[in-house]
Amino acid sequence: MKPTTLSVLLLSGAWLAACQSGTTTNETTATTAADSTATAATPAADTMGVPAGTIPTVGNPQLLFTLPNEHNTPDGLALSPNGRTLLLSVPNLANNSYPATILEITGNSYKPFATNLPVEPTTKKAAPMDLAYGPDGNVYYAENQYENSKKYVSRLMRINMKNGRPGTIETAVDSFRLANGIVWKGNTLYVTDSQWDMPENDKGSAVMMFTLNELKKGLIHLKPKTKDPHVLAMFTTTVNETGVDNGADGIDYDSQGNLYTGSFGDGTFYKMTLKPDGTLAQQEALPLKGDKITCIDGFIIDRKTDKAYITGARQNAIFVIDLKTNNVTTLAQNPDTDGAGGKIDQPAEVLLKGNRLYISNYDNPVKHFVNTKSDAPHTEAYIDLP
């Protein structure tokens, strides 16, 4: 998440998981929306290594809205405390000649939320990924600088809210390598670092934990290539034909308080059981059955049903894991498309608001992905669940 040219991005692994828009943008025309019911034509040949004709069309996601090239990689989603609006991060990692931004979604339209995001001093870029409102009412976002620099300059940022609107933005934690997914559980914030390598393990990743009280005291500095005191759990990615070694990505918890994360590089789904004091009691790779997931990006757990809605970025799919049985089913999937009409186009994040599942189509692939290139339109989609 990068060099500035698309051709370099596709080869270098800009796989991860905007300029401010001055006016509210609404739903596209009925002609475009009608296209959401059409089955995408499978390419005659797939140059990225996924056999042509092997990807089915499942489900019928709908188009929420399209974004201009200034907002080219929609990613993280967060629900406001009042449940009325959503936030959408746009790191613009497919084309970072445009500045990154955070948008606000109401209904089927969006408008600017936080536009002048502070750039990291050495990379001169901002790159917001997953984000969430904290119990203090402020917005926290993970910033992924990994494609701009491998020197542990990614950060956790805090937007200080005033009267429901964004105020000053400051660094809360620095020295991540690839800060990615975040979730608040009570007064504890959990953050994934998809590239937390150790001296003896260059395929490492981790889940970090920070208390609200600690975050209030001032800037926290992590210690790279160590089991920093903030590390809750560490993981090792098995590298496959994609060549991707990014590990822990999305993160959420179930109705019992158990944490989960998924590996972007190999599709492993991990469960972390916590002790009463919040420290780790056990971590395990769940033995999933049913449909196979080869890459896990973001996900959301419906704690009413303990079902996890998973973005299968590599497979252009949304999967559902029943955490009571570990069974996997496919909710939506389609072959390579440009995302027009709401079709899946390398999904990165999902969010539940009532029975509506919102989908961010990140559309910035690496080799051996169903999605073969980053292209317009850039889209947000949704599925209304039964």
Whether the Cβ atoms of residue 110 and residue 120 lie closer than 8 Å to each other: no
CA–CA gap between residue 284 and residue 293 (Å, rounded): 17
Give dist(CA 320, CA 241) in Å, integer: 25
Instruction: Provide the β-strand partners of residue 220.
Output: 173
CA distance 126 to 177: 14
Residues contacting 251, CB < 8 A, separation 6+: 181, 182, 183, 190, 191, 192, 207, 259, 260, 261
Q: What is the pLDDT of residue 351?
A: 98
Task: Please give the model's pTM, rounded to 2 decimal places.
Answer: 0.88
User: How far apart, in whole angstroms, are the C-alpha atoms of residue 57 and residue 335?
Assistant: 7
Partners of 156 in beta bridges: 142, 173
Percent of the chain topping pLDDT 70: 87
pLDDT digits (tens, 9 = 90+) for 6-50: 333 333 333 334 333 333 333 333 233 323 223 333 333 344 456
Q: For the chain, what percent of residues have pLDDT higher than 90?
A: 85
Among 35-39, 169-173, 190-194, 323-327, name the one with the lowest average pLDDT: 35-39
Pairing between strand 317-322 and 307-312? antiparallel
Note the maximum CA span of the chain: 58
The residue to which tokens 């608040």 are assigned: 184
| pLDDT tens, residue by residue, 111-146 | 999 999 999 999 999 999 999 999 999 999 999 999
- Alpha-carbon gap, residue 310 to 300, rounded angstroms: 7
Give the pair of three-digit tokens for residue 212. Answer: 């609200």
Question: Which stretches of the chain are DSSP H helices?
Answer: 6-12, 30-34, 212-216
Query: What is the band of 200 on the pLDDT scale with cuts at 50, 70, 90?
Result: very high
Q: Are strands 248-253 and 259-263 parallel, antiparallel or unpaired?
A: antiparallel
Residue 342 has pLDDT above 50, yes or no: yes
* Confidence (pLDDT) at 51: 65
Residue pLDDT, tens place only, 67-109: 999 999 999 999 999 999 999 999 999 999 999 999 999 999 9
* 303 vs 25 pLDDT, higher one: 303
Q: Of 3-7, 26-30, 340-344, which has the strongest mean pLDDT?
A: 340-344
* pLDDT attached to residue 21: 33
> Is the per-residue pLDDT at 4 higher than 80?
no
Q: Nearest 5 degrees, angle CA 264-CA 267-CA 269?
A: 105
Q: For residue 95, what pLDDT is reported?
A: 95
Rounded average pLDDT over 242-251: 97
Picking from 379, 343, 374, the residue whose alpha carbon sits closest to that of residue 361 is 379
Does 235 score more than 70 pLDDT? Answer: yes
Residue 25 gets which letter from DSSP?
B
- Residue 54: the pLDDT is 83
Q: What confidence score (pLDDT) does residue 53 get?
A: 72
The whole-number pLDDT of residue 52 equals 60
Q: What is the mean pLDDT of the chain?
A: 89
Looking at residue 246, its pLDDT comes to 98
Q: What is the DSSP string of 188-203?
A: EEEEEETT--BTTBTT
Cα angle value 256/313/44 (rounded, 5°): 150
Is the predicted pLDDT of residue 376 greater than 70, yes or no? yes
